[in-house]
Amino acid sequence: MKYFNNPEAFIRLVLSMQDGMTATLTIFALTLVFSIPLGMVIALLRMSKHRVVSAPISLYILVMRGTPLMLQLFAVYFAIPMFFGVNLDRMTATILAFSLNYAAYFAEIFRGGIMSIPVGQYEASSVLGFTPVQTFFHIVLPQVVKRVLLPVSNEVITLVKDTSLANIIAVSELFRAAKNEASRVASVEPLFVAGLFYLLMNGAVTLFFSWLNNRFAYYKD
């Protein structure tokens, strides 16, 4: 042990991995920012009555959930420049691939939530004169949020750990930084520091979701 028994060296080690932590947090945060709204849009399109809309969306969800995220990362990073002639930097490619992938998972969670809302809620809204848009945003969506908190928290926890996949297209996120540092100093301890950081992030995620859960506990459905 070089670091875990020496607070000063430990802090220096953590600081040397700071950029990696920032990159990991960035991938995490931006993926959520893009994939949650996108997931809602995909869920609604998936539920369209028109098969020309719902069928391609089903295929999209199948591909995104049915192939490895690692492969999708490669595909976005290498195939997009090849076919579209635009170069994506590593970070952009990562966030794009992650957002497209997680949106598919969120879409299915949201779809399940929307379908679980009793038809009577729509009928009451209609009789009271709400437009479909008012019904969705004021009646359906708030109830869906409460119902999907648990599965969404599962996805978010998985995302924290999945950010480490970005190292395969050489994004300098935390896992890569830890690997590099481990070989530089010939110790596995940097990897444990990374592990600790993922654990702390997920501790925060867990706290956040239990707070949200409490905020929605004011009614039972």
The residue ranges that bind another protein (CB under 8 A) are 118, 120-121, 123-124, 126-131, 134, 138-139, 142-143, 146, 218-221
Separation CA 205–CA 194 (nearest Å): 17
Separation CA 174–CA 27 (nearest Å): 11
* DSSP string covering 3-33: STT-HHHHHHHHHHTHHHHHHHHHHHHHHHH
Shortest Å, Cβ 134 to another protein: 6
Nearer to another protein, 2 or 138 (CB): 138
Shortest Å, Cβ 118 to another protein: 8
Separation CA 89–CA 7 (nearest Å): 36
Shortest Å, Cβ 150 to another protein: 17
SS3 209: helix
Nearer to another protein, 29 or 124 (CB): 124
Nearer to another protein, 85 or 129 (CB): 129
Shortest Å, Cβ 116 to another protein: 13
Nearer to another protein, 125 or 167 (CB): 125
Nearer to another protein, 86 or 127 (CB): 127
- In single-letter form, the type of residue at position 134 comes to Q
Compute the CA torsion angle 167, 27, 53, 129 (nearest 10 deg). Answer: 160
Q: What does the block give as tokens for 185?
A: 């100093």
**Residue from 174, 177, 178 nearest 187 by CA:** 178
Shortest Å, Cβ 123 to another protein: 5
